[in-house]
Homo-oligomer: A and B are copies of this chain.
Amino acid sequence: MSATVPPTPRTRIRRIAERGRYDADTVREIVDAAWHCHVAFVDEGGVHCIPMACWRSGDALYLHGSNGSRMLKVLAGGAEVCVTITHLDGLVLARSAFHHSMNYRSAVIYGQCTRVPEEDKPSLLEQFMRHIAPGRESQVRPPDPNELAATLVLRLPLTEAAAKIREGGPKDDDADMSRDVWAGVLPVHLAHLPAVRDPACSIEPPGYVREWTANT
């Protein structure tokens, strides 16, 4: 059962409002399908929009990076952020130029990041590893104390969040329906290409590598 969070002035979708979704499950699905997001924030140099890896655990999105990163320091310092994840699903070809569109699923999250306490970092980073390759968290060398100390993990609650989804075919004006032009959707999809082994590696690929292209 998915909680529907009432939209705030920031998350309420006004433009084509019927595309807006405010239930937690829809936001989570969009977040879970992503490996990266775009983080917008303001510092003394102005507004920035930076791609970052991300993962979800429970009701929060997590970001991580170097302790020395200026950006991470600004985020950890409580800057307001807007984090957006977008999956492009297709180009929608209508009979009129005006009604061309794109199919997509996007999630927009507003809030402030907080720094994850030291003791919570190892398990959260393990969850990130599982998000990338389930099972790998027990195969790789885990972070040593220096690496952990060098890594900042930030938590952004999924509280003030909204999704926007466009799906399906073109919506043409009645007067254009008989026009002599192909109409439909050109779908796109983030496909998995065959794994590329490191030349210095002679280890047999584990299941998540063997099944990578099948899980596309």
Contact = CB atoms under 8 A, between A and B. Distances in A.
Most buried by B among A95, A97, A177, A209: A97
A88 B35 contact: yes
A188 B190 contact: yes
**What is the oligomeric copy number?**
2
A59 interface: no
A169 B180 CA distance: 49
A84 B50 contact: yes
* Interface size bracket, A side: 35 or more
B187 A95 contact: no
A89 to B, nearest CB: 9
Contact of A82 (B40, B70, B94): B40
Interface in A165-212: 169-170, 176-177, 179-201, 203-206, 209, 212
A102 interface: yes
A169 B198 contact: yes
A114 interface: no
B140 A95 contact: yes
A190 B189 contact: yes
B190 A93 contact: no
A80 interface: yes
A80 B43 CA distance: 13
Nearest to A98: B147
Contacts of A26: none
A179 B201 CA distance: 9
Given A15-B71, A93-B209, A139-B181, 20 more contacts: A9-B45, A38-B84, A51-B104, A91-B132, A93-B132, A94-B140, A96-B143, A97-B137, A97-B140, A100-B140, A140-B179, A140-B181, A141-B181, A181-B203, A184-B197, A185-B196, A185-B198, A186-B212, A187-B195, A191-B191
